[in-house]
Structure 1
Amino acid sequence: MKHISVLLLLLALSFSGFSQNKDAILGKWMNSTGEAHIDITKRSDKYFGKIVWLKEPKEKGVVKTDVKNPDAGLRSKPIIGLEMLKDFVYEDGKWTDGNIYDPKSGKTYSCNMTIKSNGQLNMRGYVGISLIGRSETWTRVK
């Protein structure tokens, strides 16, 4: 009986670990180039990320805007405050089915994210299937 109690306790602890793990992505992250900080938040059961800091927020004295956006009506929006990660869901230890927008190119890609054992965030952006894409590593902002 004692062994069953210990087993049940360990099982309960592992489930509580899983529920905490899905929100491990929340917070501020620095992109791989160190040019931007992105704040990842949760709305309902989905995860989103907004640019909250730029190393160089201005260009030639003018606030950087989303000049490469394919929607001409959005090109005057500032890069700071831009939502670049959208609609991620947590499943099996990773955040999937989301999109990442690249303001440098104006393109949007499918994306998956995982947290590595060292605490870094692995981003995999792709078109079509994830085998055809690019990965980069983000680090948590302290």
Structure 2
Amino acid sequence: MTCVRLGRPLGPFWLLALALVLFAAPWIPAVANDGLSDSPAAAGIVGDWLVETRDAVIHIERVGDEYQGYIRWQLHDTYGPEDGPALNGKVVTDRNNPNPALREQPLTGLRLLTGLRYDARTNKWTGGRVYNSDNGKTYNCLVRLLSPDRLQLRGYIGISLLGGNTVWSRVAMKAPGRNGLPYVMQTSDK
């Protein structure tokens, strides 16, 4: 049996190993940080969100081991006369989808956000993908809450520096009122 004396200086190998562990520790995700936490912080993005252009509401929910979002409501759910006589009055579809077989699916109900997982260290939902029905492209994304009622989504290609932000506001869905809108803002937009 070997006895280790306290106060003995560490050899170069052990100093290198200790330095590597200390350097790498912030980059190694914690085992308990699996993105599935049932904490209020992790569930902070669950709900209905009015997009910045105010023409759609996205519902975000937890599905299995991730957070996903789909179009719950859109201002223009049917094509108008400006879209031509062949489309006028028909349900708006995902006509820019790169897969021709999916171009006839209605936009309302379409899943736009997938793969988001909560990271308690950064207080962000990362690893997600966001589909842009305007151009049929899918981007990487991350989400963070600016406040309980304001969400910032960053879509990007490759690294998050190469992207753009959009801010959504939390709403409560209801039966359409006099103004025809099926939602009520949770707080002011500020």
For Structure 1 versus Structure 2, the TM-score category normalised by the shorter chain is 0.7 to 0.9
Structure 2 CA distance, aligned partners of 1:55 and 1:22? 29
- Pick from 45, 48, 51: which aligns with 2:71? 51
Counterpart of 1:63 in 2: which secondary structure?
coil
Q: What is the SS of the residue equivalent to 1:79?
A: coil
More strand by share: 1
**Structure 1: runs of 5+ lacking an equivalent:** 1-17
The number of equivalent residue pairs is 125
Say whether 1:119 aligns with 2:139: no
Letter of the structure 1 residue corresponding to residue 90 of structure 2: V
Find the aligned partners of 1:54 and 1:68 in 2 and give their Cα distance: 17
Query: How large is the Cα RMSD of the aligned pairs?
Result: 1.2
Q: Give secondary structure in 2 for the equivalent of 1:105.
A: coil
Write out per-residue CA displacement over residues 56-108 of structure 1, whole angstroms, 9 at most, x where no aligned residue: 10002110000000000000000001000001000031100000000011000
Which letter does structure 2 place at the counterpart of 1:80?
T
Give the equivalent residue in structure 1 for 2:116.
88
Output the CA distance in 1 between the equivalents of 2:57 and 2:148: 19
1:139 aligns with 2:165: no
Mapping of residues 1-142 of structure 1, within 5 Å: 19-59=39-79, 60-91=88-119, 92=121, 93-117=123-147, 119-142=149-172
CA distance in 2, matches of 1:118, 1:87: 21
Structure 1's 141 and 58: CA in aligned 2 closer, same or farther, altered over 3 A? same
The alignment-based identity, stated in percent, is 39
Query: Whose radius of gyration is greater, 1 or 2?
Result: 2
Number of the residue aligned with 1:14: none
**TM-score relative to the length of structure 1:** 0.85
TM-score by length of 2: 0.64
Give how far 1:43 is off. 1.4
Higher relative contact order by CA 8 Å / sep ≥ 6: 1 or 2? 1
Q: Distance in 1 between matches of 2:78 and 2:46?
A: 27
